[in-house]
Chains A and B, each alone.
Chain A
């Protein structure tokens, strides 16, 4: 995996999008793995929504999320109150570092040496594994895809299917090298061997760390969606369970969950529902015989409250992390998840990451799109992703008088040369005489027009200027 090996670990340079995308495009294996996986996911999604009034359902999804966001601070307080009543301890973190420290402190207080993890994109965002290792605490991923990615010392290339960039042969070799599993192309065998290894780890882990799909304020319930059962293991077997989640994940009631769940699994993998829908509302009670003694929830802001300030950008926070936008994205399908170099790849990454890392760091993200609109059309909560991309593009060149830029790191792509050219362009188009003179001159000297225009003409023929301008031809026709 040379093409990704150099971009793994925790220090991916987001700014290097172009060379990585180039490398991925010329890598037939990446192209094939992603193309076939995404084709499969797109058709499964379509089948799963057959018989549904999908537009109305998506409207409901969008409204449920908007309603929750409109009451966000109140809901968070209600959630905290209810969880506390239920015996779950709530912590707040302004950024990923603080969230990491909270997890560490809980671990240290229990003298924990090993942490087993269920899938959590927020913990990826926090780079929790890396942090815990530095603190001398072993953090092991238990979702099979995440486990594979961790063994390879890589990062997930898809938010739902982390190891989608690897094929069976590579995974077998990896398991062989790192865990001594026999080489085999039998997926069942490889899975069974991982099950055995991870069961030992579950039994011995001191703490389980998981993400949260929905946090319900009314009942104080943390909901987790999964197929493997590792999430249930993580939240049940160790004596202490720590859930980490973004502050936007709260919804008022279980009824809201029923709508979002119907959309989430069908949009993500084309499943009507996942194998397990796990609802946790408290630690083990005195009379219970299993379950964790302690349950914690860490509410992570990490840039979300800044997104919340702006009426348009706020829509980003509706996201339920289904991944449908990447599955349908022509760019993602061709370059794969690692090319982006960000925790969240694909369209959602392009609108979310600039807030988390700054628009200077992430300046290539909003432009890594053809604005075809597929993402916006499939998004189960109707996030207008293309509009947000355009907005972020404007911000990256510093907006204009009517729309002053706000996002951290804005203006990073602004070039004074480009600004001057556009100013000149505007001036020329606003002055008829100069416009006619300009276009007339361009037509006259069209022979001098270069046939190469940078990367644009690598795969295209440059358009030739017409011999006569439109104005001239209209004049000749006497109109």
Chain B
């Protein structure tokens, strides 16, 4: 008998009594519907409490903010999506106050060392955010691959205030995650951190040292 059958058979023929299936009432997870303003405030408070930054922007001026953010950090380059409107807009703008724009358009194998050692910042879109916990929802794809939000020391994420959900529970239902998930989905709630050395917080242990949210209102 295979190990699979051995295990399943032991579970199916359990010796104890019939197991009852309890009712699960998820209403405790539901928050009173917060207004957009409340959601924005809560999101900002939460993400700032874990060392993230929120910049309030409009459709017209987010690029100015981005340039500022990158310049104050002396970023030499910025990794951008190829297809997404964020990437298109940045390329079309042709601004000279932005650093060199890089595109992730080849498989990681051909430029891994460069990504790990030379890229200073990246910008990605989000599929919304979660106010209660201060989280960004990301579904990486071929236009914005998984490592874009992980390897560069500064990750900048664009979040539309209108796409802020109150809770994770609400977000997954609204976006019908049960119908199917992408190969990789992420909640990101701050920069990479550790407290493994004597409970002292240190940022950027493996992933980005900084997480900057451009909130489009």
Residues on A facing B (Cβ under 8 Å) = 33, 36-37, 40, 52-53, 56-57, 60, 62-64, 66-67, 69-73, 76-77, 86, 92-94, 98, 142-145, 148, 161-164, 166-168, 171, 187-188, 190-192, 194-195, 198-199, 203, 218-221, 227-230, 232-233, 236-237, 247, 253-256, 258-259, 261-262, 269, 271-285, 287-291, 299, 301, 305-306, 308-311, 314
9 residue pairs from A and B, CB less than 8 Å apart: A40-B199, A92-B2, A188-B202, A198-B206, A258-B168, A258-B172, A281-B184, A287-B142, A314-B19
Q: Is the CB of A187 within 8 A of B197?
A: yes
**Closest residue of chain B to A199, judged by CB?**
B116
Asked if B16 is at the interface of the complex by the 8 Å CB criterion, the answer is: yes
Q: Is the CB of B185 within 8 A of A279?
A: yes
Asked if B146 is at the interface of the complex by the 8 Å CB criterion, the answer is: yes
Asked if B122 is at the interface of the complex by the 8 Å CB criterion, the answer is: no
Give Cα A37 to B195, complex, Å.
11
**Closest residue of chain A to B28, judged by CB?**
A56
Contacts A63-B24, A191-B205, A281-B182 given; does A166 touch B198 at CB 8 Å: yes
Q: How many A-B residue pairs have CB under 8 A?
A: 257
Q: Which of B1-36 contact A (CB under 8 A)?
A: 2-4, 6-8, 10-12, 14-17, 19-26, 28-29
Partner of B150, one of A86, A144, A232: A232
A360 to chain B, nearest CB (A): 22
Q: Is the CB of B194 within 8 A of A227?
A: yes
Q: Which 3 A-B pairs have the closest CB atoms?
A: A229-B207, A145-B196, A229-B206
Q: Is the CB of B192 within 8 A of A261?
A: no
B184-217 vs A, Cβ < 8 Å mask (1 yes, 0 no): 1111111111111111101011111000000000
Which of chain B's residues have a CB closer than 8 A to the CB of A301?
3, 7, 10
Partner of B178, one of A168, A203, A218, A271: A218
A152 to chain B, nearest CB (A): 13
Give Cα A66 to B20, complex, Å.
8
**Closest residue of chain B to A37, judged by CB?**
B199
Contacts A227-B193, A291-B184 given; does A253 touch B178 at CB 8 Å: yes
Q: Is the CB of A230 within 8 A of B206?
A: yes
Q: Is the CB of B177 within 8 A of A60?
A: no
Q: Is the CB of B133 within 8 A of A272?
A: yes
Q: Which of B142-167 contact A (CB under 8 A)?
A: 142, 145-147, 150, 167
Residues on B facing A (Cβ under 8 Å) = 2-4, 6-8, 10-12, 14-17, 19-26, 28-29, 46, 50, 104-108, 112-113, 116, 132-135, 141-142, 145-147, 150, 167-169, 172-173, 177-178, 180-200, 202, 204-208
Which of chain B's residues have a CB closer than 8 A to the CB of A187?
197-198, 200, 202
B169 to chain A, nearest CB (A): 4
Partner of A233, one of B113, B135, B173, B206: B206
Q: Is the CB of B205 within 8 A of A144?
A: yes
Give Cα A148 to B198, complex, Å.
12
Give Cα A142 to B194, complex, Å.
12
**Given known contacts A237-B112, A255-B178, A314-B19, what 16 new A-B pairs fall within 8 Å (CB)?**
A40-B199, A66-B22, A69-B19, A188-B202, A191-B202, A192-B202, A232-B206, A255-B172, A258-B26, A262-B168, A272-B132, A273-B168, A275-B188, A276-B187, A279-B185, A279-B186
Which of chain A's residues have a CB closer than 8 A to the CB of B104?
289
Partner of B7, one of A70, A92, A228: A92
Which of chain B's residues have a CB closer than 8 A to the CB of A283?
183
**Closest residue of chain A to B139, judged by CB?**
A279
**Closest residue of chain A to B142, judged by CB?**
A287
Q: Is the CB of B21 within 8 A of A228?
A: no
Give Cα A306 to B6, complex, Å.
12
Q: Is the CB of A190 within 8 A of B197?
A: yes
Give Cα A53 to B150, complex, Å.
35
Q: Is the CB of B196 within 8 A of A142?
A: no
User: Which of B24, B104, B105, B116 has the largest number of chain A CB atoms within 10 A?
Assistant: B24
B70 to chain A, nearest CB (A): 21
Q: Is the CB of A94 within 8 A of B6?
A: yes
Which of chain A's residues have a CB closer than 8 A to the CB of B169?
255, 258-259
Q: Is the CB of A255 within 8 A of B186?
A: no
Q: Is the CB of B198 within 8 A of A168?
A: yes
Partner of B12, one of A73, A233, A254: A73
Which of chain A's residues have a CB closer than 8 A to the CB of B3?
92-94, 98, 301
Which of chain A's residues have a CB closer than 8 A to the CB of B28?
52-53, 56-57, 60
Contacts A203-B112, A256-B24, A278-B186 given; does A219 touch B199 at CB 8 Å: no
Which of chain B's residues have a CB closer than 8 A to the CB of A143?
196
Which of chain B's residues have a CB closer than 8 A to the CB of A299?
7
Partner of B193, one of A73, A228, A258: A228
